[in-house]
Amino acid sequence: MTLKIMTAGLALSLLAACQAVQLAQLDVPSSIAQDSSIQRLALTGLGSSSGRYTVGQWQGEYTTSASAFGAFDNLFTSSKSSSGFTISGPGFDQGLVAQCAYRDSALSLDFLSFELAEGAYKCTFKSSSGEEIGGLVLGEPKPNGLIQFDTKSALEGRVWVNGQALSIASSHKAQGVALQVDKPLGYIFKRAGYPVATADLNTRTLHLPNLSRPDELRSALAGALAVNLYQNTSDNSFGPSF
């Protein structure tokens, strides 16, 4: 009887921990939380393969699609996804049209994984007239060579619009929780090593520079939308699936 009670108690504790992670909020850097030039906005309208979104004074349309394939008891796996979105609103006089894609294939042997194709999420940003004005690259840093241990690691990259580049790094730390999780809870955007924006994937809350910093705002908003729309069908590392 005692063993059954202990087992049930452990199961309930694990369930509570899982629910806490699912509901967790991204641990926002204090420099962003205390900055009066940073606005906290809700990203609404996502939740299907296509539709319209709104975030503060900005809005647009979006689409997403994804597929995955496994063969020989998942010895060989392949996944691909694509997404697209537009941005209109203050600071985007030329508009912004984004096309993003991800493709990855791997051969897995127990704890070793052989990457057969580069697994990186890439976007191209164009103005409404078709002129290329920026892009985004995001992926998992790989060691030298083809062989790697099959473990999770941080995701890194950069986003740029009209020449203003920001670095991107995944954050696995929840507010008020000591432990970090495998999958990103969100992303932190930095300029010259200083945090300027965040995107919380769980709550779909964005911290963005206001219109007094238009260059950073454009890059941060485009990057935040891209990571929120991304679907990695193999392990859902980058953002929520719909």
Contact assessment for residue 45 and residue 55, using Cβ atoms and an 8 Å cutoff: no
Asked whether residue 242 is domain-assigned, the answer is: no
Asked whether residue 124 is domain-assigned, the answer is: yes
Which tens digits make up the pLDDT trace of 17-38? 444 445 688 989 999 989 999 9
The domain containing residue 103 runs over which residues? 2-229
Which tokens hold the place of 79?
């996944």
Asked whether residue 6 is domain-assigned, the answer is: yes
Domain count of the fold of the chain = 1
Cα dihedral sign for 103, 75, 241, 169? negative
Asked whether residue 236 is domain-assigned, the answer is: no
DSSP state of 173: B
d(Cα 237, Cα 223) in Å, to the nearest integer? 16
Q: pLDDT category, 3, cuts 50, 70, 90?
A: very low
Residue scoring higher pLDDT (131 or 68): 131
Asked whether residue 241 is domain-assigned, the answer is: no
What pLDDT, on a 0 to 100 scale, did the predictor assign at position 73? Answer: 55
Asked whether residue 239 is domain-assigned, the answer is: no
Asked whether residue 235 is domain-assigned, the answer is: no
Asked whether residue 234 is domain-assigned, the answer is: no
Q: For the stretch 30-47, what's the b/e string if a residue is b when 16 or more beta carbons lie within 10 angstroms of its beta carbon?
A: eebeeeeebbebebebbe
How much is the average pLDDT of 123-142? 92
